[in-house]
Structure 1
Amino acid sequence: MKIKKDTVALSLGSCFSAEMGRRMAEAGMEVCVNPFGVLYNPASVASSLLRLADGRPFGPEDVIPRDTNPVREGRPRKAVSPEHRPIAPEGGGYVSFHHHGSFARKTPEEFLEHANAALAQASEAFRRARTVIITFGTAWVFRHLERDIIVSNCHKHPAWEFRRERLSVEDIVSLWAPVLERFSDRHFILTVSPIRHLKDGLHGNQLSKATLLLAEDILVRTCPNAEYFPSYEIIIDELRDRTWFETDGAHPTQAAVDIVWDRFKNAMQIL
């Protein structure tokens, strides 16, 4: 596939999708990147894409408090450093289970104004876009028990509000095959983030990535408007040496991301 620089693109998913989207913008392309903030799991990415495609605004029922430094069970949580705090007061502000914490605002009204402005802009971008880049980060999800929804972010709410689950290959395919069929006039580039989710444990991370890879393989074989880009394999299998990762052992270095970008640019023949 050739991607011309005047192509409008949408990039959704993990922080790796944000990195690729940023590179595309620097190359002169018009690209909308993560209008809900970083999303990690396939269910949240799918629901977010459908919401912006339908232009469904967020309402007061979606707003939740976000506590950045609560005390649970007698133990204070680790404080968030000032440079990483969203635009919210010490108490944490307001956000939704559909958004990354960077969307938090001081009041529910400010959050809704910000979230719906981003949604409207993304809806227009998706209407014009013909290329959609989707990056899955993990098959592990958290289901909010009272609302019975898979959340994009737990926002430091207590653990008893959620049940941790791992999506199956069948779950992901059943979510995404109808999405790809509905938007058959768009070209989807599917990829798996090479960022390791070490909180799942090394074995849990491997099971998660394998699930994502198998699901995307089925989708690209059965959906003619989808293709796969091997960002995961480039980092994990080709480079693989620890020197290509940051000191946290999870995130690729900028040099590694440069290599993936060059491969992506060549594979997509960005003109």
Structure 2
Amino acid sequence: MKLQTEIPLKPQQHNLIDYNSRLILLGSCFVENIGEKLGYYKFQNTLNPFGILFHPLAIESLLLNAINDKEYTKEDVFFHNEQWHCYAAHSKLSAASKEELLQNLNLAIQQTKQALEASSHIVITLGTAWIYRLIESDDVVANCHKVPQKKFSKELLSVDAIAESLLAMVALIKSVNSKVSVIFTVSPVRHLKDGFVENTQSKAHLISAVHEVVEPRQQTHYFPSYEIVMDELRDYRFYAEDMVHPNSTAINYVWERFKKVWLNVSTEPTMKIVDTVQKGILHRPFNPNSEAHQAFLKSLTEKQEQLVAQYPFMEF
């Protein structure tokens, strides 16, 4: 008796991810979950240099600015709630001084360009089709930084507008890296502050637009993280206490599905060793001076040295 519907997934045949791959992950908070898994297993990845970006226009803008070597100046930042912010970036880059923020922004934009040029895979996760415009300038913002809502107008991007933005992203990426594989996903995290009906409409626009753009022969792909959570994990036991974000069980489940599709099976032995080392680093002994623990530490060090000798980019 089957108690669950399962989305059929086939492993990719070309450009699979291994330990020689370089990844950059951009977009909504769900991409951070996959990025953290890749980081845990010591894959080479750059995760959201500008912080979480929720909508397509914010991601497109970042790609454009990175490729054009934009230099952020005092005109691009503002002071609010005792911090300096930039409407193009998440608050994780915000700082107590203007100079520190500008340094953060310009370092992140350089990091983004370098990652784009060197990457073998780019994962872009779309969170919402709702955008906010700053009324005084009519500019679309990536983050409102808790500025009063009366200063913004809110609108829903059409399917055509999203598809146009996604095509622009791909064109920008391919202009500096023609061989890269682009993997689009839609975040299963519901944006209920927009409203229940509005969230569903938003996700529908994103999914429709992605499927207008995805073309595996052109190295653009879709990974169904949204469908996996909505159709395979149809239960609130897979959600965190806010009943909106997937919990660790759900994240692990989607990660296993992502591995099946995109990770080369040759990575499995190394991933097992990395996992052993990571768990060993977190281990807290009852008796740190015991012979058994000293032997454990020696074995752990040998495994670390073995990994670093084979993959010099790994750090523990």
Q: TM-score range by the shorter chain?
A: 0.7 to 0.9
CA distance in 1, matches of 2:90, 2:21: 27
1:263 and 2:253 equivalent? no
1:201 and 2:195 equivalent? yes
Cα distance, 1:41 vs. partner? 0.5
CA distance in 2, matches of 1:178, 1:102: 26
Cα distance, 1:57 vs. partner? 1.9
State TM-score, norm by structure 1: 0.87
List runs of 5+ in structure 1 lacking aligned partners. Answer: 68-90
1:10 and 2:24 equivalent? yes
Of the three residues 23, 47, 52, the one matched with 1:33 is 47
**Structure 1 residues 108 and 210, CA, compared in 2 at 3 Å: closer, same or farther?**
same
Write 1 or 2 for the structure with the bigger share of helix.
Answer: 2
Deviates more, 1:23-32 or 1:205-214: 23-32
Cα distance, 1:136 vs. partner? 0.3
Mapped contact 2:60–2:168 kept (Cα < 8 A): no
1:38-93 Cα distance to aligned partner (Å, 9 max, x none): 010011011112212222121111011132xxxxxxxxxxxxxxxxxxxxxxx2x1
Mapped contact 1:37–1:103 kept (Cα < 8 A): yes
Mapped contact 2:63–2:172 kept (Cα < 8 A): no
List runs of 5+ in structure 2 lacking aligned partners. Answer: 1-11, 268-316
CA distance in 1, matches of 2:131, 2:144: 10
1:157-213 Cα distance to aligned partner (Å, 9 max, x none): 122221000101100111121331343312100000001111111111111111110
CA distance in 1, matches of 2:214, 2:126: 14
Of the three residues 113, 120, 140, the one matched with 1:130 is 120
Alignment correspondent of 1:86: none
CA distance in 2, matches of 1:247, 1:23: 21
Of the three residues 174, 182, 187, the one matched with 2:181 is 187
1:50 and 2:96 equivalent? no
- 1:183 match: secondary structure: helix
CA distance in 1, matches of 2:242, 2:163: 32
For these two proteins, the number of residue pairs brought into alignment is 247
Q: What aligned pairs does 1:70-109 form with structure 2 within 5 A after superposition?
A: 91=82, 93-109=83-99
Of the three residues 132, 141, 161, the one matched with 2:131 is 141
CA RMSD of aligned residues (A): 1.4
Mapped contact 2:131–2:140 kept (Cα < 8 A): yes
- 1:28 match: secondary structure: coil
CA distance in 2, matches of 1:43, 1:214: 16
State TM-score, norm by structure 2: 0.75
Of the three residues 77, 83, 105, the one matched with 1:115 is 105
CA distance in 1, matches of 2:87, 2:107: 17
| Poorly superposed stretches of 4+, deviation over 2 Å | 181-184
**Structure 1 residues 205 and 232, CA, compared in 2 at 3 Å: closer, same or farther?**
same
- 1:38 match: secondary structure: coil
Cα distance, 1:248 vs. partner? 1.1
**Structure 1 residues 224 and 196, CA, compared in 2 at 3 Å: closer, same or farther?**
same
- 2:144 match: secondary structure: coil
**Structure 1 residues 206 and 36, CA, compared in 2 at 3 Å: closer, same or farther?**
same
